[in-house]
Amino acid sequence: MDLGLSNRVALVCGASRGIGFAVAEELAREGAQIAICARDANAVAAATARLAKTGAKILPIIADLSTTEGTATAAAKALEHYGRVDVLVTNTGGPTPGPSLSHDWAAWTRASELLLRSAVELTRSLVPGMQQRKWGRVIGITSIAVKKPVPSLVLSNSLRAAVTGYYRTLADEVGIDGVTVNTVLPGYVATERLEELAAATTKRTGATHESIFESYRTGTPVGRVGAPEEIAAVVAFLASERASFVTGQAILADGGRSGTLL
Ligand code: NAD
């Protein structure tokens, strides 16, 4: 299937590692020109070098997307370099784990800035240009938490729902301009984030690393955790020309783990 991504310009956020990196690599292999963004200069440089092996044009951007300055920098640099952004993939690291009564309002604010503000501000900067050009794709990386709250991850469970509400509303408003808006909901995926969550569970409950990963595997119908590339493939399809009639959707890529009917 030709995804029609050749020479499209994609800004992939949180792309120095994990799911974001895999998305950037998949889109680069499909012929897109890529801007990647993350906070750490060394990590961004290393990711850029790996992505350059695809032969695609890669623009590295260093920015903290939990700040207004960071989102403005990411959008401005991508536009300055490529002249447009056709595909926006919003993604950052996940918030601090913890149960419902554990976080003070400062922690809620930090998590909102990381997950919700980053998505809203990047989208507000880049979608008007997509509307003018009558073509665009916005894909937000959220979480299985949107379908089924994850124990001891109240910040994620709450704020992913807010991001989903924002994007579902936007989809209705910009579809007429050829812009589709969807979210992708990963289940348990083998990244550094998952290792960090397992370490937090060990600290909280004393469970071993092996038993935690065993529960990730056995609770997932396909019997394993996912690979970042398996999320990236779904994102690439949603970014493609071929997905032009898919909008306003929250697409699970979780190996069946959510167990929901819809
Ligand atoms: P990760 O922590 O491995 O990678 C996150 C990436 O975002 C890194 O490149 C990091 O540098 C970048 N980043 C973090 N904070 C940033 C900031 N403030 N500004 C700019 N860049 C920032 O995470 P991942 O596993 O690849 O997950 C990506 C997203 O998907 C996260 O929000 C995560 O919570 C969510 N998710 C992951 C899983 C999983 O099992 N891995 C499951 C469900 C949801």
Distance of CA 248 to the CA centre of its chain: 16
- CA 151 centroid distance within chain: 21
Q: Which residue do the tokens 């801007």 mark?
A: 35
CA of 15 to the centre of ligand 1 (A): 8
Q: Is this structure's pTM higher than 0.85?
A: yes
Q: Nearest 5°: phi and psi at 58?
A: -125, 125
pLDDT score at 114: 98
Asked whether 66 lines ligand 1 (CB < 6 A), one says yes
Q: According to the model, what pLDDT value does residue 78 have?
A: 98
Q: How far is the CA of 159 from the centre of ligand 1 (A)?
A: 14
pLDDT at 243: 98
Query: Pairing between strand 87-90 and 9-13?
Result: parallel
Domains and CATH numbers, the chain: 9-253 (3.40.50.720)
Q: Is 33 in the pocket of ligand 1 (CB under 6 A)?
A: no
In the prediction, which pLDDT does 175 show?
98
Structure tokens at 8: 């499209």
Residue 223 CB contacts under 8 Å (≥ 6 apart), including other chains: 217, 255
Q: Give the helix, strand, coil percentages of the chain, each rounded to 5.
A: 50, 15, 35
Residue type at position 189: V
The pLDDT of residue 136: 98
Predicted pLDDT at 4:
96
The closest of 166, 171, 193 to 181, measured between CA atoms, is 171
DSSP three-state, residue 66: coil
Give the pLDDT of residue 30.
97
At 134 the pLDDT is 98
**Strand partners of residue 98:** 153
Between CA 189 and CA 72 the distance in angstroms is: 29
Instruction: Report the DSSP beta bridge partners of residue 37.
Output: 13, 61
Question: Residue 235: what pLDDT?
Answer: 98
Ligand 1 atom at minimal distance to the Cα of residue 150 = 43
**Chain centroid to CA 9: how far?**
17
pLDDT at 176: 98
For ligand 1, is residue 252 a contact (CB within 6 Å)? no
Ligand 1: residue whose CA is nearest its atom 15: 93
Task: Verify whether ligand 1 is closer than 6 Å to residue 91 (CB atom).
Answer: yes
DSSP 259: -
User: Which of 24, 28, 29 shows the shortest CA–CA distance to 13?
Assistant: 24
Q: Where are the beta strands (DSSP E) in the chain?
A: 9-13, 33-38, 58-62, 87-90, 136-141, 179-186, 250-253
User: Concatenated DSSP letters for 117-176?
Assistant: IHHHHHHHHHHHHHHHHT-EEEEEE--GGGTSPPTTBHHHHHHHHHHHHHHHHHHHHHGG
Cα(46)–Cα(9) distance, integer angstroms: 21
Pocket test for ligand 1, best of 118, 191, 194, 251 (most atoms within 8 A of CB): 191
**CB of 57 closer than 6 angstroms to any ligand 1 atom:** no
| 134 CA distance to ligand 1 middle (Å) | 30
User: pLDDT of the chain along its 262 residues, tens only?
Assistant: 999 999 899 999 999 999 999 999 999 999 999 999 999 999 999 999 999 999 999 999 999 999 999 999 999 999 999 999 999 999 999 999 999 999 999 999 999 999 999 999 999 999 999 999 999 999 999 999 999 999 999 999 999 999 999 999 999 999 999 999 999 999 999 999 999 999 999 998 999 999 999 999 999 999 999 999 999 999 999 999 999 999 999 999 999 999 999 8
Q: Given the CA of residue 43, which atom of ligand 1 is nearest to it?
A: 11
Ligand 1: atom nearest CA of 189 is: 40
